[in-house]
A and B are shown apart, each in its own frame.
Chain A
C-alpha cells in the first residue's frame, strides 16, 4: 500500500470552484455596469472586470482565512493584471502588424522601387527593392565596423582586464542608453555638415554602428564571462601566449554566444529610424553604391509613407513594418535557438 503525501497548501476543488464562480460573477457585474451606464465598449468592460474580480477574490479569501490571506490574494491578482497589461500591447501590436501589413504586398513588391510612383499611388505599383538593398548595405557596413569594436571591448573587459575596465564597462552601459537621434546628429555634425560631403548609406551605417557597439559589447562580455577559467589556464599552462589562448581557445568556446551577440546587435539597429533621417537622405530610387548619394532604407520608407498620410501610404507603411518585424522575429528566433544549444551543452 502506498501512501500519497498530502499537500495542504494546494487549492482544493472546492476552492477552485468558488474562485471560478466569483470570477464569473464579477464578469456579469462588469457587463451589467457597462450596459446600464454611460460607459461603452470593451475597454471599460475589461477594466471593471479586472477590478471586480481582484476585489471579490480578496474578499472571499479574507472571509475564509482572515486579513493576511486577503492581502495575499490581492497581490496575486495585481500580479496577474500586471502581466496581462504587459502582454496586451504585444499581442495587439503583433496582430495589427499581421492584419494590416499584408495589404500592400503583391508579386512585384520586392522587385520594384518607388522612383516612378508616389506613395499615394495604387498598391499594385512600386515596391521596396531600393529600401531592402539599402537596409542590407547599412547592416553589412555596421556589422563590419561594430562587431570588431564590440568584441574587442568585451575582450578588454574580460581577458586583458586593462586599466580603467570598470570605467569602460560603465561607459558602454551609458552608451547603450543614448538616444538614437543623438547618434544621427553626431554623424551629421561631424562628417556631413560643412564638409561638402552629402548624405550616403555609409553615413547611416556609421550612425547605426554607434548604437550597435554597446549591444554587441555587453552581450559578448556576458558570454565571455561564461567561458570557464580552466580553459584559459590550460592554454597558458601549455605554453601558449595570451593572444593564442584567446584566439584558439576562448573565442571558439564562446562562438555561438558571440553570434547571438551580433544577432541581437542587428535586431537593435534594423528598425532604427531617427539616425537615418540625418544621414542617409532616403532615396526613392535604387542606389547600389553606399558611399555616394542618397540611399533608401526600410525604416525611411515607412517614415516617408507615414508622412504622406494617404490610405495607400498607410498600407505601405504597415507593409514595411511587416517586413521589418519578420526580420526581427527571425533574428530573435535564431538568437534564442543558439543560446539554448549553448546552455544544453
Chain B
C-alpha cells in the first residue's frame, strides 16, 4: 500500500447527501407548486380520456373504418331516436380535407415566412426589425374569426382570380382541373387564408433559429469573401434547416386544427375533394362544428371520436415539431 492510496482512498467522491429536511412551509410550498406544475399533464390526460371514453362506442363499432371511411350518415327519426337504417361514421374524407388545406397553407406560407425571417435577421436595420417583430407577434394574436371574415370578404376575390388563372394554364394537371367552373369558397382559398394564419408562427420561429447561427462562423464566411447569398447558403441555412422544418410543422399543426376560419371561408361539403380549386370540401374541425348543432346523441359520440382523432393528430404533429425545434435551438447555444 502506497501513501497515495491512503490519502486518496476514493478518487471520485460522491456529493454529500443533504440530511436536513426542508421546513414545513417549504414542503407545503413545493407541494402546491408541484400540483400546479402537473396541471397541464392532468388536463391533457383528461382531454384524451374523456374524448376517448365518450367516443369509444363509435370507435369500437366502426373500427379502422372510422379513419378510412368516406361516409358520414347519421340516421335518426324525427323524434331523435336512432333510425331504422344503419348509421355510418367515417372521417376519411375530412381527414383528407384537413391535410389538403393544411398543405396548401404550407406551400404558400413557408416560402413567405422563411424569406421574411431572412430579411428580419440579415437585412433589416435594428429599428425596423424590432417594429416588424412586434407586428408579427401581433398578427399571431389576431383572432381566427377575423381571418375568416377577412378571407370571406377580402381575400375571396383575388383568390378566385388566381384560381381561375391556375385552372386556365395548368388545368391539365388533375388537381387544378374543375368539373364545373365554381371557384368560390374552394379549399384553395381556405388554404390561402390558413397560410396567412400560420405565416407569423413560422416567421417567428425561423427568425429565432436564424438568429442563433454562431456569429463567429458568419464572420468567418464574410472574412473568406463570401457574399450574403453565399453566407446564408453555406452557413446560416444548413445550420437552421431542421429548425425551419420544425417551425413549418408547428404551422401545419395549427392549420390542421383551425376551425372557424375554414368554416367561414370554405363551402363545407362531406366529400374527399382533391380538385383543390373546386368550391367544396372541409376539414375535421369544421365538420365537427357543422354537425354539432343538430346532432343526435349517437352522432355527438361520433363527433367526440372525431375530436379525439383531431386531438391525437395535432398533438403528435406539435410534439414532433417541438422536439425538432428544441434540438436545433440547443445546438445553437
Q: Which residues of A contact B (CB under 8 A)?
A: 41, 43, 68-69, 71-72, 74-76, 78-83, 85-87, 89-90, 92-93, 96-97, 100, 148-149, 151-153, 155-157, 159-160, 162, 164-165, 167-168, 170-175, 177-183, 185-186, 189-190, 193, 210, 213-214, 217, 241-244, 246, 264, 267-268, 270-274, 277-278, 299, 302-303, 306, 314, 317-318, 321, 324-325, 328-329, 332, 336
A175→B229 contact, CB < 8 A: no
Q: Which of A83, A165, A172, A328 contacts B119 (CB 8 A)?
A: A83
Q: Mask for B249-288, Cβ within 8 A of A = 1, else 0?
A: 0100110111110001000000000000000000001001
Give A203 Cβ to nearest chain B Cβ, in Å: 14
B119→A80 contact, CB < 8 A: yes
Contacts A76-B123, A185-B304 known; A71 to B227 CB distance under 8 Å? yes
B111 contacts across to A, CB distance below 8 A: 82
9 closest cross-chain pairs (CB), A and B: A271-B143, A152-B36, A179-B257, A82-B115, A156-B37, A177-B318, A243-B29, A79-B119, A274-B259
Interface majority SS (helix, strand, loop, mixed), chain B? helix
B200 contacts across to A, CB distance below 8 A: 86
Is B118 in contact with chain A by the CB < 8 A criterion?
Answer: yes
- The winner among A41, A180, A243 for most chain B CB atoms within 10 A is A243
The CA of A157 and the CA of B40, in the complex, are separated in Å by: 12
Give A217 Cβ to nearest chain B Cβ, in Å: 7
Contacts A82-B112, A174-B319 known; A152 to B143 CB distance under 8 Å? no
Quick one: which of B15-52 are within 8 Å of A by CB?
Answer: 22-23, 25-26, 28-30, 32-41, 43-44, 46-47, 50-51
Is B107 in contact with chain A by the CB < 8 A criterion?
Answer: no
A90 contacts across to B, CB distance below 8 A: 135, 138-139
A179 contacts across to B, CB distance below 8 A: 254, 256-259, 285, 310-311, 314
- The winner among A177, A306, A324 for most chain B CB atoms within 10 A is A177
A93 contacts across to B, CB distance below 8 A: 142, 146-147, 150, 154
The CA of A332 and the CA of B304, in the complex, are separated in Å by: 35
Q: Which of B28, B51, B141, B196 contacts A89 (CB 8 A)?
A: B196
Interface majority SS (helix, strand, loop, mixed), chain A? helix
B150→A96 contact, CB < 8 A: yes
Quick one: which of B119-151 are within 8 Å of A by CB?
Answer: 119-120, 122-124, 132, 134-139, 141-150
A149→B36 contact, CB < 8 A: yes
A90 to chain B: closest residue by CB: B139
Give B228 Cβ to nearest chain A Cβ, in Å: 5
Is B241 in contact with chain A by the CB < 8 A criterion?
Answer: no
Is B13 in contact with chain A by the CB < 8 A criterion?
Answer: no
Is B203 in contact with chain A by the CB < 8 A criterion?
Answer: yes
**A-B contacts besides A274-B260, A277-B289, 9 pairs, CB < 8 Å:** A71-B230, A83-B124, A96-B153, A152-B33, A174-B319, A185-B303, A243-B29, A244-B25, A306-B148
Give A270 Cβ to nearest chain B Cβ, in Å: 7
